[in-house]
Structure 1
Amino acid sequence: MNAITRPVADIDHEPRRAQEPTTAAAAISRINPFVFGLLGALGVLVALIIGDIVGQLATVLVYIGFAIFLALGLDPIVSFIERRLSIPRGGAVAIVVAAVLLLFAGIILAIVPILVEQISNLIERGPQMVKDIQSSDWYGNLTAQFGTTFEDAAAAVLKFVQDPTNLLNIGGGVLAVGTGIAGGFTGVTIVLILTLYFMASLRSMKRVAARFVPAYQRATFSGLVEDVSGAVGRYVIGQVSLALINGVLSLIMLSIIGAPVPALLALIAFIGSMIPLVGTLSASIVNALICLFAGPTTALIAICYYLVYMQVEAYVLSPRIMSKAVAVPGSLVVIAAVAGGALGGIPGALVAIPVAASVIIIVQKVLFPAQDRKTAPPGVIAR
């Protein structure tokens, strides 16, 4: 049937079909501009609300991140106890949690009484210490060298300390510090509880995460998750091992040289060593400054000890322990730690290296094999 013999209705409808929009862009162009702008504004508003919610939940998200980090770090120990003692996972988790709680309780019982005693002695001996300082040779030398300038500065300090209003201000600052410590204790409790739950359900969490991946990719995804979690666990164990070595050696050395509150200084060394790169150095400086209260000789010995220890840690302990934990090049360790500290402070520095190790694993297991499977199209000469 040609165009001459077609029905009139078909001829009339053919131009209309040609004019109908056939693409999504044409359909969108028919939307009222006001409606389009309203939908865009609603999308921006929803994004702002989500961002505000995430900002308000930042503390909770940090708690969850720390708990997952600790759960992955303790999982190798739980698995080892589970295999060695042939007990259910719940029992292995209970043993690990009990050991961690006993460790914290032992640290608190060892430090708090000594700390309270030192603070009481400082309060009782405060006036006598001021008199001793004023009658010391170095105070007399400074007074003779700087004259009235130094005396005026010392008098201003004494006047500030003796003013009750300033003491109330100091008390308010101490109260704020105490409130912060109480908040930190609450956060630690929440993290420990979440860590307990995550350790108990870590395997089921991995299985649920694998369900979000297509069935033909689940085996690869599960293997990748195990590699990443294993790298994080080995890193946590390696870092804790370095911190424990620093804490124990600091306790022994500081006790020998007669440093004040050696148990507290050992705890500072332990906590500092948990922070990559700058943690050991920062804790060493703090401990050396505290040793000044026992005398310049004690502080000098502490400085010499920490200088030697940092060399041993950097060139002997850390390469041997961390090379078995995470295979991350030294340059990437520095870059990751600095970037993590800049983005997230101390928590960011703590998790930066295992994140870098995880990225390396993903690149080696996913990106490189995908690139290796690609071949040149037909007719293209490979060079």
Structure 2
Amino acid sequence: MKIQNPFRVGLIGTLGVGVGILILTSVVNLATIITYIGAALFIALGIEPLISFLERHKFPRWSALVITLVVILGALAGLIWAIVPVAVDQLTQLINGIVTWVNEGKAQQWYTDLQHQFPGIVNQQNFDAVTQWLQKNLPNITSTVLATGVGIVSGVFGALIVIILTIYFTASLPSIKRASYQLVPASKRARFSDLGDQITDSVGKYVMGQVSLALINGILSAIFLTIIGAKFPILLASIAFFFSLIPLVGTITGSVIITAVCLLAGPATAITAGIYYIIYMQVEAYVLSPRIMNRAVSVPGALVVVAALAGGTLLGILGALIAIPFAAGILLIIKQVVIPRQNEL
């Protein structure tokens, strides 16, 4: 093939590459904003089943929207008002308790007890290695703590932005869906609308199911930790709730943190808490999660793991959250579009 005007071809190719690089750079620079939009849209889809429930009970759309938002924002404000002061107070006690624990020599007594119980693991050599590592990495640890504080402040502003966007998306979700469906050719619009409604419904039910599992874990943790006499039960129950919102790894991560904090009340309390969370995770995996989540999304277990890992790698926590309903949507398209079309060939 003979190129008539090499300069024009090269110029157009260069401009195309430049536009591609500009688009990719823009996406990277807007990653935080895109994350906020994705999180708000995800939450809005999770609120939609509540609005639909009220609409089925003869409430107009606007009143169902107002009632749902007032109830959710009121519950969130009440939760913050009830838990945050207690959690902050208990966190202060936790820090003071650690300082006192070290100053009064209780840390050494605890270390001695662990040496007697686990002589092969806890010994002076490992203790010295950990101490040396902490001394070498103390500047990095300090800078990480400062960066974490800045991140918390940024997270608060990000949460406010997500709340505002969620209210907007929830109010305009039907119009957003209609506008999206109009981009599809008229001959395929009805089928596309039906699939779109099924996918958005599954996302909403998935969000409600994940929140239900987190509430169960948080409430049971508060009751159990209070019974065994663990320190700071409200703070630890809040950790259990928020970590349980993260699929797959959230519950086990929160359980490890809670069990480690229970060491302040003694090894026996920590062991009891560890045994409880091992049992709870089995109950959640084989009893609670199948009963609650199968009503929302029908995804094979292996695909759930792969989707959550891939989503978490690409987009962090938000990616892990949306990966499972996204996988459910792909399976729905395959079952209702791809396979029937292949059967017709």
- Same fold, TM-score > 0.5, yes or no: yes
| Match for residue 98 of structure 1 among 51, 54, 70 | 70
| Match for residue 224 of structure 1 among 187, 195, 199 | 195
Deviates more, 1:259-268 or 1:224-233: 259-268
The aligned counterpart of 2:16 is 43
Q: 1:337 to 1:82 in 2, by over 3 A?
A: same
Residue 83 of structure 2 corresponds to residue 111 of structure 1: yes
Q: Distance in 2 between matches of 1:125 and 1:270?
A: 24
Unaligned runs of 5+ in 1: 1-24, 161-165, 375-383
Q: Distance in 1 between matches of 2:306 and 2:277?
A: 25
Contact 1:93 1:196 in 2 (8 A): no
Deviation at 1:214?
1.2
Partner deviation per Cα, 1:15-60 (whole Å, 9 max, x = no partner) = xxxxxxxxxx7xxx45311221111111101111111111111111
The aligned counterpart of 1:327 is 298
| Match for residue 214 of structure 1 among 162, 185, 188 | 185
Unaligned runs of 5+ in 2: none
Deviation at 1:331?
2.0
The aligned counterpart of 2:326 is 355
Larger Rg: 1
Q: Distance in 2 between matches of 1:99 and 1:229?
A: 22
The aligned counterpart of 2:104 is 132
Deviation at 1:235?
1.2
Contact 1:110 1:263 in 2 (8 A): no
Q: 1:147 to 1:183 in 2, by over 3 A?
A: closer
Partner deviation per Cα, 1:75-116 (whole Å, 9 max, x = no partner) = 0111112222x3322222222222222232233223332333
The aligned counterpart of 1:342 is 313
Q: Distance in 1 between matches of 2:265 and 2:332?
A: 49
Contact 1:238 1:321 in 2 (8 A): yes
Q: 1:221 to 1:107 in 2, by over 3 A?
A: same
Contact 2:231 2:265 in 1 (8 A): yes
Q: Distance in 2 between matches of 1:310 and 1:231?
A: 24
Contact 2:36 2:158 in 1 (8 A): yes
Q: Distance in 1 between matches of 2:87 and 2:70?
A: 25
Q: Distance in 1 between matches of 2:99 and 2:298?
A: 56
The aligned counterpart of 2:219 is 248
Deviates more, 1:257-266 or 1:224-233: 257-266
Deviation at 1:264?
1.8
Q: Distance in 1 between matches of 2:114 and 2:204?
A: 55
Q: Distance in 1 between matches of 2:259 and 2:123?
A: 30
The aligned counterpart of 1:196 is 167
Contact 1:238 1:325 in 2 (8 A): yes
Q: Distance in 2 between matches of 1:204 and 1:327?
A: 28
Q: Distance in 2 between matches of 1:169 and 1:372?
A: 60
Q: Distance in 2 between matches of 1:148 and 1:278?
A: 33
Letter in 2 for 1:109: W
List aligned pairs for 1:29-108, cutoff 5 A.
Answer: 29=2, 31-84=4-57, 86-108=58-80
Deviation at 1:365?
1.7
Q: 1:69 to 1:117 in 2, by over 3 A?
A: closer
The aligned counterpart of 1:14 is none
Letter in 1 for 2:198: D
Partner deviation per Cα, 1:166-191 (whole Å, 9 max, x = no partner) = 8x998765543222111111111111
Contact 2:101 2:107 in 1 (8 A): no
The aligned counterpart of 1:21 is none
Letter in 2 for 1:50: I
Q: Distance in 1 between matches of 2:96 and 2:47?
A: 45
Q: 1:311 to 1:44 in 2, by over 3 A?
A: same
Q: Distance in 1 between matches of 2:125 and 2:63?
A: 68
Q: Distance in 1 between matches of 2:67 and 2:110?
A: 55
Deviation at 1:123?
6.0
Partner deviation per Cα, 1:157-214 (whole Å, 9 max, x = no partner) = 99x8xxxxx8x99876554322211111111111111111111111111111111111
Letter in 2 for 1:108: I
Contact 2:91 2:235 in 1 (8 A): no
Contact 2:202 2:325 in 1 (8 A): yes
RMSD, aligned CA: 3.1
Q: Distance in 1 between matches of 2:6 and 2:98?
A: 76
Q: Distance in 1 between matches of 2:84 and 2:313?
A: 33
Contact 1:72 1:233 in 2 (8 A): yes
Equivalenced residue count is 339
The structure whose RCO (Cα within 8 Å, separation 6+) is larger is: 2
Letter in 2 for 1:52: T
Q: Distance in 2 between matches of 1:371 and 1:139?
A: 66
Contact 1:134 1:140 in 2 (8 A): no
Q: Percent identity?
A: 50
Partner deviation per Cα, 1:250-272 (whole Å, 9 max, x = no partner) = 11111111222212211211122
